[in-house]
Amino acid sequence: MDVDVVVIGLGPGGEYAAQKLAEAGLSVVGVEKALVGGECPFYGCIPSKMIIRAADALAEARRAGSLSGRADVAPDYGPVATRLDKQATNHWNDDSHATRLEEAGVEIVRGHGRLDGPGRVVVDGTTYVASRGVILNSGTEPATPPIDGLADTPYWTNREVMRLTELPASLVVIGGGAIGAELAQAFARFGVRVTVVEVVDRILGPEEPEAARVIGDVFRAEGIEVITGAEIGRVDHDGTFTLTLADRTLEAEQLLVAAGRRTNLSDVGLETLGLDSGAKVVETDERLRAGERLWAVGDITGKGAFTHVSMYQAAVVVRDVLGEDGPWADYRAVSRVTFTDPEVGSVGMTERQARDAGLRVVTGHADLPESSRGWIHQAGNEGLIKLVADADRGILVGATSIGPSGGEVLGLLAAAVHAETPVATLRGMHFAYPTFHRAIEVALADLGL
Ligand SMILES: Cc1cc2nc3c(=O)[nH]c(=O)nc-3n(C[C@H](O)[C@H](O)[C@H](O)COP(=O)(O)OP(=O)(O)OC[C@H]3O[C@@H](n4cnc5c(N)ncnc54)[C@H](O)[C@@H]3O)c2cc1C
């Protein structure tokens, strides 16, 4: 069958590209082997943030007593399992995603798509020939760390968690990255006894060390045990889970493994275009071109495993396919948010990355509890602003915003890093009083530039 474009995998980027190209009048086939929409709406961003929204509301209600000076105003929360059940039943088919694409003119083909040379894709024996080319958006699966015994146990990944209707009494989370941290805190706030086990020496490893300190302190205060630098010898399951660490054992009713993602690249036919089918990521240029008549978008490109990166890249591909001018892909100011409470928002380079890049780095800090808004907020006011500046160019190259709505405060900092706004210009801004973002003014002064 001849078409203009075939999209393999309809995660956020593939879905976006397919829709936009079909709306532009091209004939588009979208191939999906599971759920149209990919990880984000069903197993990832959206259901996890729905769970977190409920957990945060409970935590905020618990803070009411301390804020009002009346311990007795804390309400009875009711059965939290009801909330989980509602989330699961409201959100478990891909009709809305598939319908939106079909209304735009995309032909959806259900099955496993495999490249078969430039511009060719085979699905269940049918070959599709794409005159403009193929967009690969095959995404990721949860990775299984090589721990003795683990593979034989009924452990959870994010995919099982998003379907839960009942809470366990206790949970061990392997992995203290964004996904593990977010879910650990949410479960703890629902009343589950939670232990986070992280093999490196701090949680939230890719973020600034200050993030690990703030979130680690909050977790401990909320009763979450955090074990870092752990050596996990083996995992057993005998009704309950037992983790054998170097110096102790842990027991829990359930085990969640949130230890990274594995890209779906081994069986998509990359070798038919002369590319390495054993590679962990697909190399792309600034137009996301990966080979002859092949573009790649999303987590498989290794440029940030985020929905907004996948959609940003898809927009670049759409421009390239339609023969439009750029802008082409630029990753200087990728922003990301860990939706713990407080949220950890960050953009661009960490201090370490900036130093490793050879920049003359200066940093500026502001502690949120000492800001006017932090003082007003009281319970739950933990956080800080950290700025990373290139002293030679007088611009911010990275920033972290930890606090209530830290991800929202990040917007200003992301714009500054993206636009390379001079620090002198930022310092001359008005910062509304008493907002959380006003703490940025203090951090700018602390840069000493
Ligand atoms: C628990 C969790 C929380 C997250 N929270 C956030 C968040 O808050 N913010 C954020 O930005 N990101 C978040 N993410 C990451 C986000 O989900 C991904 O970055 C996002 O889904 C983009 O992925 P993608 O476009 O690469 O494709 P994916 O979403 O991985 O989709 C790929 C699709 O391709 C299909 N597929 C694969 N191979 C084939 C094939 N050969 N043929 C046909 N179909 C195929 C798959 O079935 C899948 O539907 C979260 C992830 C998880 C797991």
Q: Is the CB of 179 under 6 A from ligand 1?
A: yes
Query: Are the C-beta atoms of 350 and 208 separated by less than 8 Å?
Result: yes
In angstroms, the CA 203 to CA 355 distance is 21
Element at 425 (helix H, strand E): helix 423-427
In angstroms, the CA 363 to CA 351 distance is 8
Q: Between helices 178-189 and 209-221, what is the axis angle to 10°?
A: 20
**Predicted local confidence at residue 79, as pLDDT:** 45
In DSSP notation, 291-317 reads ETTEEE-SGGGSS---HHHHHHHHHHH
Residue 311 Cα to ligand 1 midpoint, Å, equals 11
In angstroms, the CA 129 to CA 40 distance is 29
Residue 233 Cα to ligand 1 midpoint, Å, equals 30
Give 345-361 pLDDT, tens digit per residue: 999 999 999 999 999 99
Q: Is the CB of 296 under 6 A from ligand 1?
A: no
**Predicted local confidence at residue 68, as pLDDT:** 74
Count how many Cα atoms sit within 13 Å of the Cα of residue 222 in the half-sphere of its side chain: 35
Q: Is the CB of 40 under 6 A from ligand 1?
A: yes
pTM: 0.95
Residue 45 Cα to ligand 1 midpoint, Å, equals 9
Give 302-320 pLDDT, tens digit per residue: 999 999 999 999 999 999 9
**Predicted local confidence at residue 232, as pLDDT:** 98
**Predicted local confidence at residue 83, as pLDDT:** 52
Query: Are the C-beta atoms of 77 and 59 separated by less than 8 Å?
Result: no
Q: Is 107 helix (H, G, I), strand (E, B) or coil?
A: strand
- Number of residues in the chain: 449
- Give percent above pLDDT 70 in the chain: 95
Q: Is the CB of 305 under 6 A from ligand 1?
A: yes
In angstroms, the CA 296 to CA 373 distance is 44
Q: For residue 168, is pLDDT > 50?
A: yes
Q: Which of 35, 39, 137 is the best mutation target for the ligand 1 pocket, counting ligand atoms within 8 Å of the beta carbon and taking the most?
A: 39
Q: Is the CB of 44 under 6 A from ligand 1?
A: yes
Q: Which of 94, 162, 306 is the best mutation target for the ligand 1 pocket, counting ligand atoms within 8 Å of the beta carbon and taking the most?
A: 306
Residue 11 Cα to ligand 1 midpoint, Å, equals 5
Q: For residue 323, is pLDDT > 70?
A: yes
Q: In ligand 1, which atom is closest to the CA atom of 161? A: 1
**Predicted local confidence at residue 405, as pLDDT:** 96
Model confidence band, residue 71 (pLDDT cutoffs 50, 70, 90): low
In angstroms, the CA 255 to CA 341 distance is 22
Q: Is the CB of 35 under 6 A from ligand 1?
A: yes
Model confidence band, residue 218 (pLDDT cutoffs 50, 70, 90): very high
Residue 148: count of CB within 10 angstroms of its CB: 12
CA 368 to chain centre: 24
Q: What is each CA distance from 139 to 13, 66, 199, 280, 341, in whole angstroms?
A: 9, 44, 25, 11, 28
Q: In ligand 1, which atom is closest to the CA atom of 305? A: 19
CA dihedral 9, 11, 15, 18 (to 10 degrees): -30
- Residue indicated by tokens 């964004």: 178
Q: Measured at the alpha carbon of residue 157, what is the angle toward residues 151 and 162, in degrees to the nearest 5?
A: 150
The whole-number average pLDDT for the span 337-349 is: 98
Radius of gyration, CA atoms only, the chain? 23
**Predicted local confidence at residue 67, as pLDDT:** 80
Query: Are the C-beta atoms of 51 and 339 separated by less than 8 Å?
Result: no
In angstroms, the CA 304 to CA 262 distance is 13
Query: Are the C-beta atoms of 140 and 222 separated by less than 8 Å?
Result: no
In angstroms, the CA 199 to CA 259 distance is 10
The whole-number average pLDDT for the span 51-58 is: 94
The whole-number average pLDDT for the span 70-83 is: 51
The whole-number average pLDDT for the span 174-196 is: 97
Q: Is the CB of 289 under 6 A from ligand 1?
A: no
Residue 40 Cα to ligand 1 midpoint, Å, equals 5
**Predicted local confidence at residue 66, as pLDDT:** 79
Query: Are the C-beta atoms of 222 and 190 separated by less than 8 Å?
Result: no
Query: Are the C-beta atoms of 265 and 277 separated by less than 8 Å?
Result: yes
Q: Is the CB of 100 under 6 A from ligand 1?
A: no
Residue 148 DSSP symbol: B
Taking phi over 0 as left and psi of -120 to 50 as alpha, with beta for the rest, 191 belongs to left
In DSSP notation, 173-191 reads EE--SHHHHHHHHHHHHTT
Q: In ligand 1, which atom is closest to the CA atom of 45? A: 5
Q: For residue 69, is pLDDT > 80?
A: no
Q: For residue 91, is pLDDT > 90?
A: no
Give 368-418 pLDDT, tens digit per residue: 999 999 999 999 999 999 999 999 999 999 999 999 999 999 999 999 999
Q: Is the CB of 33 under 6 A from ligand 1?
A: yes
Q: Is the CB of 334 under 6 A from ligand 1?
A: no
Residue 166 Cα to ligand 1 midpoint, Å, equals 25
Phi/psi at 441 (5° precision): -60, -40
Q: Which of 15, 87, 138, 164 is the best mutation target for the ligand 1 pocket, counting ligand atoms within 8 Å of the beta carbon and taking the most?
A: 138
Of 350, 347, 341, 336, nearest to 368 by C-alpha is: 341
Model confidence band, residue 165 (pLDDT cutoffs 50, 70, 90): confident
**Predicted local confidence at residue 78, as pLDDT:** 46
Q: Is 434 helix (H, G, I), strand (E, B) or coil?
A: coil
Q: Is the CB of 143 under 6 A from ligand 1?
A: no
**Predicted local confidence at residue 192, as pLDDT:** 97
Q: In ligand 1, which atom is closest to the CA atom of 40? A: 17
Q: Is the CB of 27 under 6 A from ligand 1?
A: no
The one-letter amino acid code at 316 reads V
Q: Is the CB of 157 under 6 A from ligand 1?
A: no
Q: Is the CB of 63 under 6 A from ligand 1?
A: no
Q: Is the CB of 338 under 6 A from ligand 1?
A: no
Phi/psi at 397 (5° precision): -115, -5
**Quick one: 257 exposed, middle or buried, by C-beta within 10 A (0-12, 13-18, 19+)?**
buried
Q: Which of 61-65, 70-74, 127-131 has the lowest mean pLDDT?
A: 70-74
The whole-number average pLDDT for the span 29-48 is: 96
Query: Are the C-beta atoms of 51 and 165 separated by less than 8 Å?
Result: no
Q: For residue 21, is pLDDT > 90?
A: yes
Query: Are the C-beta atoms of 128 and 111 separated by less than 8 Å?
Result: no
Q: Is the CB of 268 under 6 A from ligand 1?
A: yes
In angstroms, the CA 44 to CA 48 distance is 6
Q: For residue 88, is pLDDT > 90?
A: no
Model confidence band, residue 87 (pLDDT cutoffs 50, 70, 90): low
In angstroms, the CA 341 to CA 52 distance is 9
Specify the residue with its C-alpha closest to ligand 1, atom 34.
9
